[in-house]
Structure 1
Amino acid sequence: MSTLLELTEMLRQREQTLLQGGGESGAERQRKLGRLPVRERLTLLLDPDRPFLELGLWAAEGMYPEWGNVPAAGVVTGLGWIEGH
């Protein structure tokens, strides 16, 4: 049986993988299409000194194995600040 600390670390590691989305190959594919990866676009859009609360990072976790899994169901949603609003 795993300890709480081990389980927490496992979740943190999986979260880091999910935050990478399609990984470097996905980011490169977006750049070839003339687009920035979504989290880079969010960095440019959102106020840098304010937090961004991502919702749905774990959506579709474990689903779509035939597609190699789809982190966050291929969608980034959240709450953030834009020009102080």
Structure 2
Amino acid sequence: MMDEPLSGLDPMVRSSIIKGLISFVDLEKQTVIITTHELQEIEPLLDSVILIKNGVILDQKRVEAIRRNENLSLSDWMVEKYGD
């Protein structure tokens, strides 16, 4: 589990961490849970997204379903469906 792993990092380090996470998940076949407010930064890593507010799961979807059915980026989908 990673809490805001890219927060406050410069672009080079952020890119390196994203590449490392992709390699880890591909190699180890492990699930990584990432909490973030910046979906666009981690969108390339995601298979699924779960939206939680005040400890309650609001929604859970596969990223491909959002792109296919909603025709929106993850950030736009979240804002359109749940406000800010």
Question: Scaled by the length of structure 2, what TM-score is found?
Answer: 0.29
Greater fraction strand: 2
Question: RCO (CA 8 Å, sep 6+): is it higher in 1 or 2?
Answer: 1
